[in-house]
A and B are shown apart, each in its own frame.
Chain A
């Protein structure tokens, strides 16, 4: 490999392109990442961005208050389409969260060094996406103040939840997922919080970070247990993330509605979740690295690797679409065949064609290296894929419910202003939380970046 200098764009060089730009020391990394939180003044761009998000959060508040006052009738749902936007958005948001866990847990177990600079904010993204997701089933209940009826508690009614129902599985899957993601994220943060505590310029900051760091002092004994716990959490989060979207797909697959009752749903939902999640990581990473000059840490190699993961999971999703289609036709079941016809020619056919365009055709451009290394195109593509994944859930929820077994039970669905208001509101909440996150916590794991520096310098010794 060292014989002769290969030209700069040769595959050789690109394959070796670093996960961390050369020339960094423990101190320079600490300075650069912690300065975003500790010393950098609030910029106009941040204020404007957060301000816009804040408006959307207010819209969300308004939409929720009005919803609780009037009931779910203000949404477009009806009989037979009882699920509508709420469930579409729920599945979409929870899927987005999955990439964070994949990056933090699965890539950690596979010892992929490139995960280091993106795992922290990807995990934050997971938490915020699950928060947005969780809101929808709660609001969709109509009487969200009775949400605790879903949990098994000894009530005076002497009844228990139905543990054979996928909706109860969902409660356990999503709440476990949120808890474990939060633990994983917090454990990863502890050493960095200690760094922020020690470097804080003002007393209040030092006290707040100090409380959160819990007196972490980097003792070798502590690190030993810490590493065991972190590795175990990664090992636990890996099957967990697969189980969560599997359980979400059971919400559909356990039912007998045409288009839902298929065994391919669990793997195809999980792949779709990772697909949309990586698209969302790119949507966040690209502006983040530009705004805070983090190109040394979030390098082209990261963006390209994420593009490759998107291409791979996109192909799995395409395979899922194909076999959904094929099995419906091959089964000879007249309702399944009819559902395919409805997707291709029914009243919502344009959603289906948009879905194919966004989720199957567009990502094929990622086969080309020029596209994978073009930041602007990648950014646009990440938005397209997220739209596509939203459309996928719309197609699954609405088309199946609107055309089930008897024509007298058919219906149509159209979303109202309030449906869009809640969706836009959660987008604002998600982005707003991310804006706050990059200002108060290190968006990149400082301790893990130091490990990378140590690893690189040992190779040079």
Chain B
């Protein structure tokens, strides 16, 4: 019975009027032992990651790697072109004229880092993902990207049951609580 319920339920969602109320609710949910939950806000809310107990993300690391790859690749390539592949002796000037390679090295460092920051962020967020069970909730569609702050307790939590999660959300004064159907 339990398993079946989880299969067609994504979770239970409730909404709050202000970011502060959402943060308090998330903290209460975490302290009550809910582990699998997410909050949805129309703009980034300071303190929400901490309230949900989120770990630091990997975007900065990916960006660093992308930047290093861009920079080292650019310098290495210019060196290879100018010293090995297409070495031209022009008036005895040194082939490895490294200061002249710096502008392109710099530009490609920035390019590599920026591309990895953006595409890394999208990939780790698993976007693009056109559909998500939460979009089945009408109020979510109307308000999550405008003026309401949502907390969703997810069904993959060991503690989860629809009745209890709904009751808990009611206790912490969430409004318009509804079950999110998986499809």
Contacts and interface: CB of A to CB of B under 8 A. Distances in A.
A199 B121 contact: no
A30 B146 contact: yes
Given A160-B81, A160-B86, A220-B38, A183 B114 contact: yes
A195 B144 CA distance: 9
B127 A214 contact: yes
B43 A454 contact: yes
A30 B86 CA distance: 57
B41 A236 contact: no
Interface in A148-183: 152, 158-161, 163-164, 166, 168-169, 172-173, 176, 179-180, 183
Contact of B145 (A152, A166, A198, A457): A198
Contact of B44 (A195, A197, A223, A458): A223
Interface in A227-244: 227-229, 232-233, 236-237, 239-240, 243
A222 interface: yes
A233 B18 CA distance: 29
Interface in B68-103: 77-78, 81-82, 85-86, 97, 100-101, 103
Interface string B105-118: 01110110111011
A232 B42 contact: no
B103 A215 contact: no
A227 B44 contact: yes
Nearest to A163: B78
Interface in B106-140: 106-108, 110-111, 113-115, 117-118, 120-122, 124-125, 127-132, 134-135
Given A152-B77, A198-B145, A232-B59, A163 B82 contact: yes
A272 interface: no
B107 A225 contact: no
B159 interface: no
Nearest to A190: B127
Contact of B142 (A198, A221, A228, A447): A198
A194 B128 CA distance: 12
A215 B141 contact: no
A26 B42 contact: yes
B145 A191 contact: yes
A155 B35 CA distance: 56
A210 interface: yes
Which of A198, A224, A236, A448 has the most B CB atoms < 10 Å from its CB? A224
B107 A172 contact: yes
Mostly helix, strand, loop or mixed at chain A's interface? helix
B63 A215 contact: no
Interface in B36-56: 38-45, 48-49, 52, 54
Contact of A454 (B19, B82, B113): B19
Contact of B104 (A172, A186, A232): A172
B147 interface: yes
Contacts of B128: 214-215
Nearest to B52: A220
Contacts of A195: 42, 145-146
A194 B81 CA distance: 45
A180 B110 contact: yes
Contact of A222 (B82, B86, B117, B125): B125
A220 B45 contact: yes
A236 B117 CA distance: 10
A379 interface: no
Which of A184, A215, A227 has the most B CB atoms < 10 Å from its CB? A215
B130 A210 contact: yes
Contacts of A161: 81
A218 B52 CA distance: 14
A218 B44 CA distance: 8
11 contacts: A160-B85, A198-B142, A217-B135, A218-B41, A218-B42, A219-B125, A223-B45, A225-B121, A228-B121, A229-B59, A239-B106
Given A215-B128, A225-B121, 18 more contacts: A158-B86, A160-B86, A169-B104, A172-B103, A172-B104, A176-B107, A176-B108, A179-B111, A183-B115, A191-B145, A194-B145, A198-B142, A218-B40, A229-B117, A237-B114, A243-B106, A243-B107, A247-B103
